[in-house]
Structure 1
Amino acid sequence: NKELHIVYKAIVQPAYNIRNLEFRFDSVTAIGRNIHELARASFLQKGARYDLDIIKSERARIDAGLKEKGMYFFNPDFLIADVDSAVGDHQVDMFLRLKKETPPKAKQEYRLNEVYVFADYTADTDTSMQVVKQQSRFAGGYHIYDPQHKVRTSVFKRALVFKPGDLYSREMHNQSLKRLVNLGMYKFVKARFQETDTSKQPSLNAFYYLTPAPIKSLRAEVSGLTKSNNSAGTEISLTWRHRNLLRGAEQFSAKIYGGLERQVYSQQPTISTNRFGVEFNLLSPRMIGPFKVKSKGDFTPQTKSTLGYEFFERNTQYTMNSAKLSFGYIWKRDITQEHRLDIVSLNLVQPTYINPDYQLMLDTNITLARSIEKQFIVGPNYNYNYNSLIVANNRPNNYYFNWNIDLSGNIMGAVTGADIKNGIQKNFLGIPFSQYVKTEL
């Protein structure tokens, strides 16, 4: 049972600080001017502690900045930091410069020359330039190679950020890829840039290879449920989807569903609930309207249209039909924030049968009666959603925020002269329409 105790004593020398910092680049060449401009926001500062990790981060920062200035072939390894530690008093002089072996093309600003889009790319696609130039459609400065004309050229004019003649930018490069992916009709999206010979200036040809996902799909879902009131049920749904309905990357879905619920092991009369319905959705990758919207960023705005009908029956209480129609827009500032605006939102609720015994209950309960009365809900509504969890992070705190506002019948009420305070109720298509302002958090 002998024990041994070891005590380590660390003698740490004082840290080195940066006495002088110099960016040794000329102000004549493009790369020199760009680096001097980027140096204004440098991670390296006089008087700061010498840290190798910060030097690496500074090289990566300069590389990212130069990529936004058209320097496609630049690499952070072309930068080197010379450190003189012989100045004494635990200080260093640091000089940041380019390596002598840096190739000339890494110092040049490149612009886009021609942009080629292979809209239906597979491993068997003939990508020889002779065939591509003969069979491509030229639109908006892009060469669209789509021999069967499966997709309209306007889709790529909206999705691609790069234009011929633009200075190369890594941000625009990534944005174009994300916008193509977010169209929802491509399984794989790849970009390649190739240096091209021009007598005017250093140039790149861009090639986008788009491999389509299955255009049509069919999905079936079956679910079951049990409740504490001795009821059990099931629901089945069938959804058919088309990813390019009108050759404009429109995503269309048609869903039919049905379900039933039965109360078992009960001495009371058996209560059964049946419902079935259909729903159609059309999502277009642009804003459809009398105005043109030029979007920037990683996401293109979308227009969503919905049409649906549902039949609901509870055998001991009532039978109800409902229909809905909506038209609105969806757009995102970034991946964590989403806006939804339904300019038109129509909901029609109409009971077709009420059990006499249940009607007696409704006569004494105004809240319950309101829930199934004939009504027409019309009006715009807006939803804002923020979710920081969408992006993987190591933050100790993440946030979720959802806000919805519904303005039902207010515009129609102002036009028709409806006034609930004075008991003036107006109808639309023979059905009273609801008026309220509702907000939810």
Structure 2
Amino acid sequence: MSGYFGVRGNWAKIGLLLLLLSIFGCNTLKKVGEDELLLTKNIILVDEEKVTNAEIKGLITQKPNSSVLGYPLKLNLYNLAKENPDSSFQDWLNRKEKREKRLKNLLSEKQVYRLQESFLVKGYSEFLKRIGEPPVVIDTSKTSKSVSKLESYYNSKGYFNNTGEYEIIEGKKVKKAQIEYRVTLNKPYIVDTIQKNITSPELDSIYNQAVKGSFVKQGQQFDLDNFTLERERLTALFRNSGVYNFQESSINYNIFRDTTQASDDQLMDVELNIRKFRSTNDTTDTNMPYKVARHRKINIYADYDLNGNSDSLKTLEYDNHNIIYSGKLRYRPKALTDAIFFEKDSIYRDLDRIRTYRQITNLNTFKYPNIEFIPDSTQTQLETNIYLAAKPKYSLNLNFDVTHSNIQQVGTAFSASVITRNVFGGAETLNISARGSIGLLSDASLSDGNFTSELGGDVNITFPRIWLPFNTEGIIPYYMLPQTRLSAGTNFQRNIGLDKQSLNSILSFNWTPSERLKNNIELLNVEFVRNVNPDNFYNVYRNTFSNLNRVADQFQDDPQYSQYFRPLEDVDDEPVLSIPTGANGFVRNILNDSIPVSAEDKELVNSIEERRRRLTENNLIFATNFTHTKNSKSGINDLDFYQYRIKVESAGAMLSLLTNVIPFNKNDNGQNLVFSVPYSQYVKTEFDYIRHWEIGGSQVIAFRSFTGLAIPYGNSDNIPFVRSYFAGGSNDNRAWNAYELGPGKTDNINDFNEANLKIALNLEYRFPIAGDVKGALFADAGNIWNVFDSETNPDAIFTGFSSLGDLALGTGVGLRYDFTYFVFRLDVGFKTYNPAKDGSARWFDGYNFKQAAFNIGINYPF
């Protein structure tokens, strides 16, 4: 049976190879008719200059078949499909002998196989047609339409006398051609005088005060886009100057110029017209002039049944707002009025309406609000009604996941959270969550047990304001959506690493000055990490133990050192240090010179002991940090944007200032202790920049750069493991696994390599393949180093610009499947330049699938 499957496996490989050869060797003209021409390229010349502008190229109706790095993949997939896959099946059914057997249900096994094969061929062909592209054959009617579009476009830019034409240029290969579009612009038309005809005196006054900001200016070349921008500007101007009901359709322009007459005079006069308001509810279609309106009365309907008995409604006046409710008011009045940006007797501003919507939604207590404006008979006074409908008081969320990692063969994780809204009557949100997981260890030697477990919980409360003893509204107004978050959590791990227990507490403030800017301050971020099982260090960090064991090999046959080695269970076993007693005793006696070793071995053992001490000691971190983020992305479909994040963090500074006031206890190394644990002291900075360029056809070039540096000082000579940097993994350098790369030119010396300086550069070309299947080619460069800390290995230390030669380079390919709500990602990375190697061996060493790194991820890496 095994031989059978082996043969089938070989046939599968051969079939895949033949399919690839078929695709790459496919004739692109296979389905192009004798009298047809395959379109290979469009060229646009404007006044004899070649145009590369994506907007103008998008006007062309017919475009060549899409390609991946110049190869027409979708066209060749389409060409692989059979034209009439049903023909053999139909012929077989029509044959008398076969038809009689079919009627008698006496189909032989061979015939059934042929029937199934026919259906498979049909389904395969339909699939290829669906994911492929038919050949784009030149259609002169579509070409003429493209010329008309080009002429219309340049008409909109003021070239009213432009002319366009096209030429089909056949290539050297038969049945292939490119189209050359040529546009002659001639002289553009220029805006001369600008007149206005504004029927409303109030609008006329507002316009005159802001006329300098106009997009349509005298002496400017005519451009229809400027007129569109000016209509949008005026609409926003009027609606933010009191005219709550202004309609953009009230604006139009008259252009005075006969563009059909040939003349050297290219000047044109423009008249701006702003008509009266036209009521859509008035059957007589009466027009009325626009007027500036003010808020006469502001009513907040705070969560009551609009269809209920209005006699039971109560009214509370607070800060010039009327809060209308039934029963008992469940919200503090200030919490409601702070979310409303309309003020009594002030003019209407559309900006205040937008900010009110955003702030009420940001409270996470109410559903999307309804705002109504009721004018009086003069159209100058508004009764403003804000209707609020509360979300459910409580919400329950449950999650369940199946996980896999380098520690767990398989695991299950679950979490549950309860959200309570309006906890203290000020629209506060309380979130209590619990999580847990259990998994099967991938290596039983990592622990005494076979299973891992994790249990944790968090309490998080959010206030819709900056929670400080002084008023911050002048610095961070409510329209910036300020929030204060106070959280506390704990986590317990069993049989994962050193069985960590952690406690954390965070007091943070965040606000959003605009849709593109976000700021966050963690005024206090306290984290305590306790290693419950430090004796398990050498079981977890196997590479470190192997290095120590190699030093011990020279003493394994000497009886006076037998106490350091574990008893042999078999005569063929090699002696190894016992864990933890033998390993710890061996290290201790080498460092106090009780066991004679070379200076090189002693330095190695000292480095191992430093790492063991560092990774097994408990950590106490009192940190403060500030993060500023900007994102220019305008929507989910925006493929051309940039984003950056700047973060600055300081740990231990506040505690250090107290050393002259509070007599801290000290350990043997002179470090100050809090709760018998030395607190960490460091300064950390990060800069993360992302840029995406859309290059047409849903193709994107994505770039990312990251630089991070953490400098220990004072009470610390290194960075806590939980705040250090690592390299490799699905969102970093994808040719190395997480924690595998670096530091510097070292070669995977530890199981979890980390350092306090990181540089990462990523470049990725993303392109569509077929339907929801996407592809990517990427290059990842970067590494981590130690600097300004206790590291002594010169290969791991950043010494200057020369250390940039240690930047590792990984290249590879990726496949993505877009599920709309998320993207499933598979990346294969190859070590293109490995700084841990020597000389020419650094380049393309192990550049094969066997030594490649396979990364699975959700969504794009950057």
**2:142 aligned with 1:142, yes or no?**
no
Using the alignment, how far apart are the partners of 1:160 and 1:292 within structure 2? 18
The number of residue pairs the alignment matches comes to 431
2:505 aligned partner: 325
Distance 1:414 1:154, change over 3 A: same
| 1:152 Cα deviation after fit | 1.4
* 2:620 equivalent among 376, 383, 387: 376
Distance 1:311 1:47, change over 3 A: same
* 1:124 equivalent among 303, 307, 311: 307
Distance 1:86 1:381, change over 3 A: closer
2:244 aligned partner: 72
Q: Partner of 1:370: helix, strand, or coil?
A: helix
Using the alignment, how far apart are the partners of 2:582 and 2:635 within structure 1? 54
**2:657 aligned with 1:432, yes or no?**
no
Contact 2:486 2:508 in 1 (8 A): yes
Using the alignment, how far apart are the partners of 2:581 and 2:247 within structure 1? 78
Using the alignment, how far apart are the partners of 1:77 and 1:230 within structure 2? 63
**2:482 aligned with 1:301, yes or no?**
yes
Using the alignment, how far apart are the partners of 2:412 and 2:318 within structure 1? 52
Render the CA deviation track for 1:113-161: whole Å, top value 9, x for unaligned.
11111121556355x6x765xx121111111123231221111221111
Distance 1:190 1:32, change over 3 A: same
Using the alignment, how far apart are the partners of 1:172 and 1:104 within structure 2? 27
Contact 1:335 1:390 in 2 (8 A): no
Q: Partner of 1:172: helix, strand, or coil?
A: helix
Larger radius of gyration: 2
| 1:395 Cα deviation after fit | 5.8
The higher relative CO (CA closer than 8 Å, separation ≥ 6) is in: 1
Using the alignment, how far apart are the partners of 2:506 and 2:478 within structure 1? 26
Q: Partner of 1:248: helix, strand, or coil?
A: coil
Aligned-pair Cα RMSD in Å: 3.4
Contact 1:23 1:36 in 2 (8 A): no
Render the CA deviation track for 1:333-354: whole Å, top value 9, x for unaligned.
1222222212222212223443
Using the alignment, how far apart are the partners of 2:415 and 2:453 within structure 1? 14
1:241 aligned partner: 419
Q: Partner of 1:389: helix, strand, or coil?
A: coil
Contact 2:277 2:290 in 1 (8 A): no
Using the alignment, how far apart are the partners of 2:618 and 2:306 within structure 1? 58
**2:269 aligned with 1:96, yes or no?**
no
| 1:264 Cα deviation after fit | 5.3
Using the alignment, how far apart are the partners of 1:360 and 1:233 within structure 2? 33
Using the alignment, how far apart are the partners of 2:381 and 2:228 within structure 1? 29
Identical amino acids, percent of aligned pairs: 19
Distance 1:383 1:360, change over 3 A: farther
Using the alignment, how far apart are the partners of 2:652 and 2:415 within structure 1? 33
* 1:291 equivalent among 464, 467, 470: 470
**2:450 aligned with 1:252, yes or no?**
no
Render the CA deviation track for 1:337-374: whole Å, top value 9, x for unaligned.
22221222221222344337257667644224323312
User: What TM-score comes out, normalization by structure 2 length?
Assistant: 0.46
Distance 1:90 1:355, change over 3 A: closer
| 1:306 Cα deviation after fit | 0.7
Larger relative helix fraction: 2
Contact 2:198 2:275 in 1 (8 A): no
Contact 2:511 2:518 in 1 (8 A): yes
Distance 1:271 1:330, change over 3 A: same
* 1:313 equivalent among 494, 500, 508: 494
Using the alignment, how far apart are the partners of 2:529 and 2:502 within structure 1? 4
**Residue correspondence of structure 1 range 39-438 to structure 2 within 5 A:** 39-52=211-224, 54-85=226-257, 89-99=265-275, 106-122=289-305, 124-125=307-308, 135-147=314-326, 148-196=328-376, 202-227=380-405, 231-263=409-441, 271-294=450-473, 295-296=476-477, 298-314=479-495, 318-355=498-535, 357-358=579-580, 364-389=608-633, 391-392=635-636, 394=638, 396=640, 398-417=641-660, 424-438=670-684
Contact 2:276 2:290 in 1 (8 A): no
| 1:79 Cα deviation after fit | 3.2
| 1:104 Cα deviation after fit | 7.5
Q: Partner of 1:282: helix, strand, or coil?
A: strand
Give the letter aligned to residue 510 of structure 2: I
Q: Partner of 2:671: helix, strand, or coil?
A: coil
Give the letter aligned to residue 493 of structure 2: F
Contact 1:182 1:299 in 2 (8 A): no
Contact 1:25 1:36 in 2 (8 A): no
Give the letter aligned to residue 119 of structure 1: A
User: What TM-score comes out, normalization by structure 1 length?
Assistant: 0.85
| 1:433 Cα deviation after fit | 1.5
Using the alignment, how far apart are the partners of 1:170 and 1:218 within structure 2? 36
Q: Partner of 2:368: helix, strand, or coil?
A: strand
Distance 1:395 1:259, change over 3 A: closer
Using the alignment, how far apart are the partners of 1:34 and 1:179 within structure 2? 29
Using the alignment, how far apart are the partners of 1:125 and 1:153 within structure 2? 22
| 1:409 Cα deviation after fit | 1.0
Contact 2:484 2:510 in 1 (8 A): yes
Contact 2:652 2:679 in 1 (8 A): yes
Larger relative strand fraction: 1
Contact 2:192 2:219 in 1 (8 A): yes
| 1:197 Cα deviation after fit | 5.3
Unaligned 5+ residue runs, structure 1? Answer: none
Using the alignment, how far apart are the partners of 2:322 and 2:459 within structure 1? 35
Using the alignment, how far apart are the partners of 1:435 and 1:275 within structure 2? 29
